[in-house]
Structure 1
């Protein structure tokens, strides 16, 4: 469903109002950072092969999920003290990845420009389709359909503009 010009203008006005009334910029946060983001994996080995083998994120830990016996909880180092984690949930009849309100749209992971270029080559070699945007971002789906962005801008910057 495409938005009308009037709807687009209304959303722009709402954005401008939120920016004017609520934007705090570089105010001090109460958090230290994201400890880990956890996704669901349909196959542990396939996920490790992709994230470690293709993207170059080292697997750092594999444990049983404390909340679901038989399930595996595993972690990848994505730099700067941050982790990307996964659960497999064997025995549950989960459907395919879907965007839902409150769900995941994509995860953006910062890399150096050199690593970004190398990752593109590895994605090509693995036959993973991706879309390149603005010369600094590539978007693709992981083996379970979650959207991932690799962005060569530094942390706290998006397309040359500070966001933190």
Structure 2
């Protein structure tokens, strides 16, 4: 089963639009404007991903809500978690595509964090709300030993680290 859309609130819809359509290449295709049950109203913007009319990322621009001045749009700050703990990840199909996204983000003035997890290779940045965005390429396969290790970890209470990443690197934005 696949998801239909991920919905998030945004503090600045125009900056969010510039990021998700202008940089990420997702197409704004629909808006729903409606009252919010607890009071106020919102605009719910839907961005189609990869031309697929069954997969979207959506953003709420809220107005006149009771706690509007107290909203925290960064998922990790709101949950009091370390940066990038909560994040959303999009798949790529090749190392070349991953590299293209890294360079596109850097050219857009974004800092990029790259990590080769030994079974997948990822790049991360943050959107205008401070939320972590990832592109990920699966580079390995899974066997019964991987499953057994994952099942054992469900009951572990001691730190038993995985092998260190093959690569960890921060990339600064390219100069304008």
TM-score class, shorter: 0.5 to 0.7
Asked if 1:82 is matched to 2:58, the reply is no
- CA distance in structure 2 between the partners assigned to 1:35 and 1:65 by the alignment: 20
The 1:133/1:65 distance shift into structure 2, 3 A limit, reads: farther
Task: Give the root-mean-square deviation of aligned CA atoms.
Answer: 2.7
Match of 2:132 among 122, 133, 147: 147
State the match for 2:174 in structure 1. none
* Count of aligned pairs between the two proteins: 126
Asked if 1:130 is matched to 2:112, the reply is yes
Question: Unpaired segments of 5 or more residues in structure 1?
Answer: 1-31, 154-158
State the match for 2:88 in structure 1. 107
Contact 2:40 2:62 in 1 (8 A): no
Alignment of 1:9-28 (within 5 A): none
Q: Which structure has the highest strand share of the two? A: 2
State the match for 2:100 in structure 1. 118
The 1:139/1:71 distance shift into structure 2, 3 A limit, reads: same
Q: TM-score, normalised by structure 1?
A: 0.65
Q: TM-score, normalised by structure 2?
A: 0.61
Question: Unpaired segments of 5 or more residues in structure 2?
Answer: 147-176
* Runs of 4+ more than 4 Å apart: none
